[in-house]
Amino acid sequence: MTDSLLLALIGQEMTSVIFVRDYLQLDFDGPRLSLFVWPQVTTDAQARQIGDPGYRDSLCSLIGHPVRAIDENPGTGLALHFDSGSIVANPDPSQLEGPEIAMLNGIAGSTGWMVWRPGEFPFDGPRERHSHTRRVSSQDLPIAHAPRPDRTLMRKEPAPSDLSPDMAVRSSPATALQAGGELSEAQAERDALRRELGDLRAHLCLALGLLRREPGPEGLEVLSVASDKEILAAVRRLIVDALPPEADNESRWTLIDDEILAGRKIAAIQRIREEFGGSLHDALDTLVQRYDQLRRLRPDQFAQDADTYWEGFYS
């Protein structure tokens, strides 16, 4: 479809694959396609789904390869085709976990973005190929695909006379430029917040040293971000480590520490409230922080190991 921002990806190399907890981001040296459902990836004539052996490596093997064609129709959903494989997002209803399937932003020379949602083209029909839709490749478009030195895509917008009758008539809000009045203010704010939260998670992982660097195919390095639980645990450790040691204050912890080391968590909470006051919730937070500190400073004095310490304790 020639009214789709997705056309700007044709000729662009995929520069990175980012796994962000429960969704995927494909970068094209500026443009970014976020997929909120796990796509099918095909390389070497082998199709793989999330959970299949080699799924991640197959995705990463497409890094450095340009997009040769795109496909949007109710039969295939949303597809990117490379010389050596393809990435296809065409989820079953059971796979949908949010209001969006995919989002594209960061197109050079455009302040808009595009969002694909369930029930909107090309996810508005049965999962079979429709005869009125077709693949779009570089041969079909009036686009100069050789990027300039600054890697800005040069694009000539097609005139109405350039479009076939089918393409001129077929227009859907799911694939139209989502700018200005195309998205409601609430939808735009939600989409922007989702992007900002993803970027914040990535920056936090970088600052906290939680980015997982793992070897990928062809010598590439794959970066994966940590879960929210892991991020919060790292922040909690920073807070505990930043507390200045005070001799007088440490003396107040002697009996509390004995309870924590022995695994008597309820008794420790009671002593914390007696010593420092505060609510039950405050005492529980203090218990967890003190436990983290003792686990690092006095690990050999615990009666239980870290894997079993909290078993049976519900807060």
pLDDT tier, 71 (very low <50, low <70, confident <90, very high otherwise): confident
Position 246 scores a pLDDT of 53
DSSP 89: E
12 and 152 fall within a common domain: yes
Contacts 24+ apart (CB under 8 A), 216-221: 216/56, 216/57, 216/60, 217/57, 217/60, 217/61, 218/61, 220/60, 220/63
Q: How many domains would you assign to the chain?
A: 2
124 and 250 fall within a common domain: no
How much is the pTM? 0.47
Q: What is the pLDDT of residues 300-309, one digit of tens each?
A: 999 999 889 9
156 and 12 fall within a common domain: yes
189 and 286 fall within a common domain: no
Residue at 295 is within a domain? yes
DSSP 79: E
Residue at 149 is within a domain? yes
277 and 165 fall within a common domain: no
Domain of residue 257: give its range.
243-301
**Highest mean pLDDT: which of 89-103, 132-146, 226-240, 242-256?**
89-103
74 and 148 fall within a common domain: yes
Matching residue, tokens 């990928």: 216
Residue at 291 is within a domain? yes
End-to-end CA distance of the chain: 53
Residue at 227 is within a domain? no
Indicate the burial class of 60 (C-beta count within 10 angstroms; 0-12, 13-18, 19 or more).
buried
Q: What is the pLDDT of residues 251-291, one digit of tens each?
A: 788 899 999 999 999 999 999 998 888 888 888 989 998 99
